[in-house]
């Protein structure tokens, strides 16, 4: 075993993760390899990060080229790669302006600050509260755990950041009833990830826009997980034909290089001026080079249509599996290649047994098994994952 692959049991890492005793040395496409040569089919994609799989040649070449030129440059100067990526994201979406961060939580933080500043400048100073939903996940900073509202994430971290109210996901009446003179924004995941892979209906997303307009609220979508092609469109809300005011995205934006983005329309973005927000590393030349390379691939003709085809194939196979094994599996959830399958047995046990068969998946809330294959997954790889699922199901006792 090479030194870099050694995982010490007396770890100096803070024990914030219950890690599997498994380390990877390299990856290619939809596969990961351990130092001793074991191969795993990756249907987790680093939790929806490796959208283009591992070691995508265009991404590798782009990062290598940029590494030889310039790694870091302060945002006190113009960063051409940033201007280009912002322009391309805006041209491909509802947005007019973009702020780059290093993570999803930071992209959400940027959006939360922007929503407050917008109300402060152009709306009503009192309107600092944000309506969020049950089962939400928005990150692990103090403000984003408050926005997510999950007891398991909040416990021990009092006082909870103020300004977040909670309603049932998918329920417009409850949301409307929760609006007060202090409400300034609505923050919703078009497809909930961690919370259980629930996809919002198009009518729900449209209803959110209508309500936001009626009450002068900022409509803010968290597309950190469901954005960047995961559902078969660049952003999941596009399926509903709705235009939000703010969108945060991250995970697959850098294909594995840490980068996030907060997108906004001109109306809301007008609230930010010099000094209102910042980040040392945000929009760093390395991240921007890779982000642009990701868009080169995703915006190619036929990329999203292919995601949809692979999604249809995988979903129909999973539905058939669930019909054959109703004691193990229930409903299918999610959208595109963001797939949840409700388990009737413990989801972690299914995940572990798949891992024993060299297939990686993740779990989600509500006892859901989460399948997030790279968007470049092939029919043969889907068949391989299904073989493993079939074997796990057949051998269940
Ligand atoms: C992962 C995730 C986040 C947080 O992103 P980090 O990069 O881990 O900070 C926020 N929202 C959603 C929906 C996510 O899936």
pLDDT grade for 5, boundaries at 50, 70 and 90? low
Q: What residues are paired with 241 via a beta bridge?
A: none
Mutation choice for ligand 1 from 102, 136, 137, 256, CB with most ligand atoms inside 8 A:
137
Q: Which two tokens stand for residue 143?
A: 């403000």
d(CA 241, CA 289): 30
Residue 338 has pLDDT above 90, yes or no: yes
Question: Which H helix or E strand runs over 4?
Answer: none
Q: Of ligand 1's atoms, which has the minimum distance to the CA of residue 144?
A: 10
Quote the pLDDT of residue 94: 98
138 Cβ inside 6 Å of ligand 1: yes
Quote the pLDDT of residue 397: 86
Which residue lies with its CA nearest to atom 11 of ligand 1?
Answer: 138
d(CA 80, CA 253): 18
Q: Which two tokens stand for residue 289?
A: 């080079």
Mutation choice for ligand 1 from 100, 251, 362, CB with most ligand atoms inside 8 A:
251
Q: Of ligand 1's atoms, which has the minimum distance to the CA of residue 47?
A: 1
Tell me, what DSSP letter sits at residue 200? P
Sequence spans of domains, the chain: 5-55+302-394, 70-298
Architecture of the 70-298 domain: 3-Layer(aba) Sandwich (3.40)
- Dump pLDDT digits (tens) for 208-248: 999 999 999 999 999 999 999 999 999 999 999 999 999 99
CA 104 to ligand 1 centroid distance, Å: 4
Residue 3 has pLDDT above 70, yes or no: no
139 Cβ inside 6 Å of ligand 1: yes
Global pTM value: 0.97
* Mean pLDDT score, 180-185: 98
364 Cβ inside 6 Å of ligand 1: no
d(CA 185, CA 219): 6
Quote the pLDDT of residue 109: 98
**Do the beta carbons of residue 369 and residue 343 sit within 8 Å?**
yes
Q: Which two tokens stand for residue 299?
A: 């915006």
How far is residue 138 CA from its own chain's centroid? 9
* Mean pLDDT score, 110-137: 98
CA atoms within 13 A on the CB side of 43: 30
CA 194 to ligand 1 centroid distance, Å: 9
Residue 99 has pLDDT above 70, yes or no: yes
Percent of the chain residues topping a pLDDT of 90: 97
Asked whether this chain's domains 5-55+302-394 and 70-298 adopt the same fold, the reply is no
Mutation choice for ligand 1 from 105, 153, 227, 257, CB with most ligand atoms inside 8 A:
105
- Computed over every residue of the chain, the mean pLDDT equals 97
Residue 323 has pLDDT above 60, yes or no: yes
Topology annotation, domain 5-55+302-394: 3.90.1150
Quote the pLDDT of residue 304: 98
Instruction: For helices 347-356 and 379-394, give the axis angle rounded to 10 degrees.
Output: 110
Strand 129-133 relative to strand 368-371, pairing = unpaired
d(CA 65, CA 54): 18
* Mean pLDDT score, 103-123: 98
Quote the pLDDT of residue 10: 82
d(CA 212, CA 130): 12
pLDDT grade for 1, boundaries at 50, 70 and 90? very low
């409400």: which residue's tokens?
A: 183
Residue 7 has pLDDT above 60, yes or no: no
- Dump pLDDT digits (tens) for 385-394: 999 999 999 9
**Do the beta carbons of residue 365 and residue 325 sit within 8 Å?**
no
Which residue lies with its CA nearest to atom 6 of ligand 1?
Answer: 104
């Amino acid at each position: 075993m090479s030194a870099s692959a050694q995982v010490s049991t007396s770890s100096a890492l803070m024990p914030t993760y219950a890690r599997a005793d498994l380390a990877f040395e390299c990856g290619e496409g939809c596969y990961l390899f351990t130092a001793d040569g074991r191969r795993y089919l990756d249907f987790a994609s680093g939790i929806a990060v490796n959208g283009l799989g591992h070691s995508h040649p265009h991404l590798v070449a782009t990062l290598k080229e940029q590494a030889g030129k310039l790694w870091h440059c302060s945002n006190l100067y113009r960063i051409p790669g940033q201007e280009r990526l912002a322009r391309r994201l805006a041209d491909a979406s509802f947005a007019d302006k973009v702020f780059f961060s290093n993570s999803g939580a930071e992209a959400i933080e940027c959006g939360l600050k922007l929503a407050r500043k917008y109300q402060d400048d152009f709306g009503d100073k009192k309107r600092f509260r944000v309506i969020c939903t049950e089962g939400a996940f928005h990150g692990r900073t103090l403000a984003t755990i408050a926005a997510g509202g999950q007891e398991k994430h909040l416990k021990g971290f009092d006082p909870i950041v103020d300004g977040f109210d909670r309603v049932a996901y998918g329920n417009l009446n409850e949301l409307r009833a929760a609006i007060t003179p202090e409400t300034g924004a609505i923050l919703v995941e078009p497809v909930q990830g961690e919370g259980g892979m629930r996809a919002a209906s198009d009518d729900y997303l449209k209803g959110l826009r209508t309500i936001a307009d009626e009450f002068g609220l900022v409509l803010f979508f968290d597309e950190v997980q469901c954005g960047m092609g995961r559902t078969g469109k660049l952003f999941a809300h596009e399926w509903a034909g709705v235009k939000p005011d703010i969108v945060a995205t991250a995970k697959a934006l850098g294909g594995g290089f840490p980068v996030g983005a907060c997108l906004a329309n001109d109306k809301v973005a007008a609230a930010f001026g010099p000094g209102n927000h910042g980040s040392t590393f945000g929009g760093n030349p390395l991240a921007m080079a890779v982000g642009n390379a990701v868009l080169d691939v995703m915006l190619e003709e036929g990329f999203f249509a292919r995601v949809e085809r692979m999604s249809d194939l995988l979903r129909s196979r999973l539905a058939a599996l669930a019909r054959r094994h109703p004691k193990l599996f229930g409903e299918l959830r999610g959208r595109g290649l963001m797939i949840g399958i409700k388990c009737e047995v413990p989801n972690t046990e299914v995940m572990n047994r798949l891992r024993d068969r060299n297939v990686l998946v993740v779990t989600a809330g509500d006892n859901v098994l989460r399948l997030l294959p790279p968007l470049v997954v092939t029919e043969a790889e889907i068949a391989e994952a299904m073989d493993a699922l079939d074997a796990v199901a057949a051998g269940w006792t």
